[in-house]
Each structure stands twice: as C-alpha cells, then as structure tokens.
Amino acid sequence: MTETTTHTISAEQSRREQELTDRVLASFENTPDDRLKQLMQALTKHLHAFVREVRLTEAEWEKAIEFLTNVGHITDERRQEFILLSDVLGASMQTILVNNPADGDATEATVFGPFFLEDAPEIPLGGDIAGGAPGQPCWVEGTVTDTTGRPIPNARVEVWEADEDGFYDVQYGDDRVAGRAHLYSDEKGRYAFWGLTPTPYPIPHDGPVGAMLAATNRSPVRAAHLHFMVTAPALRTLVTHIFVEGDPQLEIGDSVFGVQDSLIKTFAPQPAGTPTPDGRDLGDQEWARTRFDIVLAPATA
C-alpha cells in the first residue's frame, strides 16, 4: 500500500472506504445496551472520518499506537497520563461543559484536576488552609447562593491549591497535608478563609503528553488558580477554580483549557501593614484579597 497525502480520491475508492465504515457500524447493531450501541457507533463514525480526512498513513498509525502504549506504560496509581491526555486535548473540559449546562447566573464549572483529596481538614470560617505551605497569604471571601439569590447556609466548600513553588502537598511524597481544607458557609451563606495567592505551575510534562506538547509548541503551564468544590443539598455540585486577573499565563493559554472569563478574579495586592479583615498579624508580609460569590444551580437542571 502506498502512502499518500492526496485528498483527491476516486469514486470507487470512496465507495470502498464507506462500505467498510458501514460494515463496522452494522457490527454494533445488536448491542443490547442502547447507550453503548450509540457510543460505539458514533465512535466508529468519527474515528473512520478522521482516518479518511487526514489520509492517515500506516507509519502515522503505528506512531499513534506507540504513543498510546507509552501513555499506558507511564500510568500508575500516582501518575495518570490518560487523564492528562484528555485534559490537554480539551476532552475533559468539553465533558464538563456538556454535563454542566448554563443555568441562570450559576457559577461556571471547570476541570477537577488530579490533586483533590478526600478528608482534607476542616477549618472554621476565616481559618487558614495553608498548613505550612509557602506562599503569599490571600484572604478569600464570598457567598454561596442559589440561582434565585437565596443564601445557602452550611454549604460545604472544599478548597485546594499548589504552593508558591507550584506543587501540591501530594507531590512531595511525604505525608504532609497543606494547601487544602474544607469549611461550611454560615447562616447567611457567607464563607471566608486564608489561602495562598495562586501561582502558575506546569502539568507533569516529562512523559508522552509533555512530548506531544513540545512537538506542537504548546506550553504545559496552567494558569494560576485556586480549586473549589461546593456541595449543598438539592443543588448541583460545583467543581471549579478561580483564576488571577493579570496572570500572563491567561494570555499564553491554560494547558488544559480550564479558564472561563467569569472565573477570572481580581486578587488585590495589600501592602505590608494593611490591616487584615480578621485582625491577623502578618508582620511585614504583603498579602492579597479576593472575592468569589458562588451561585449553585438546582440539582435537577
């Protein structure tokens, strides 16, 4: 078989290619589960269309198999290269968009990321999530409401973030718990905590996904962000981040396409000595403050 890059194919060639696609589609016709049947047939349709559109060469197909094999080989309990691949292709974010339809003023969702941990410590309102993680202190406050504006008391707010060196606690390989916590909104739906001013960090890029980013001249760096997961009864769980207005990485592009304009927040710098909202003494340290009002959609939406 010759390798070809021409897009001009004969009617007979086109007929043979379509005939194959049709046969594969038909092979799934007796799938008992309707949804599985739909998924497999749509996958077949799009996969064949891709191969035909780009006139995929056999060498390229082998390269693709080798790439996916390498993605599998580097994956273990601590490293999930397939999720990374899904992320950098925007497939994770597209799945989030499909599953979190717009609903009034409901806060937009974004990628979950690999660094959430169950059982992060509980802190009181105004508490500190840093747990020793280095970084500039940042006061974060806001409200949790539903789409009618009703305050949501006792909403569970999970927050987690990288330290100023760009690492999450779990990446240090010891048992530290830092830069993560959960708290509950008060009777007026208000919440507040001390975190760290977020800084950009690269996704793990020493594997096949990193090589793909390098080959396509793409940055592995994520725009600086602070993760949130907010849950309350009868409301849609919100998994999101807030991003830092003015972060240069917003212009370069977030490597996993997680940025939504509505999630970019002002992190106002506070010179050393500026009184803190809760009287905390930060000595000669600069700090920052931001506000993030969270609106949860109804769970049935």
Contact residues for Fe ion, defined by CB under 5 A: 113
Write down the least CB distance from residue 115 to Fe ion, Å: 6
Name the E strands within the chain.
137-146, 156-160, 180-184, 190-196, 201-202, 221-222, 225-231, 238-244, 264-265, 268-270, 287-291, 294-296
What the block records as the tokens of 292 is 């993030």
Residue 99 CB contacts under 8 Å (≥ 6 apart), including other chains: none
CB 200 within 8 A of CB 218: no
Nearer to Fe ion by C-beta: 146 or 247? 247
When CB distances to Fe ion are compared, the closest residue is 113
Write down the least CB distance from residue 124 to Fe ion, Å: 24
Write down the least CB distance from residue 111 to Fe ion, Å: 8
Nearer to Fe ion by C-beta: 146 or 254? 254
Nearer to Fe ion by C-beta: 113 or 195? 113
Nearer to Fe ion by C-beta: 71 or 170? 170
Write down the least CB distance from residue 256 to Fe ion, Å: 9
Write down the least CB distance from residue 113 to Fe ion, Å: 4
Nearer to Fe ion by C-beta: 146 or 161? 161
Distance CA 230, CA 182 (A): 9
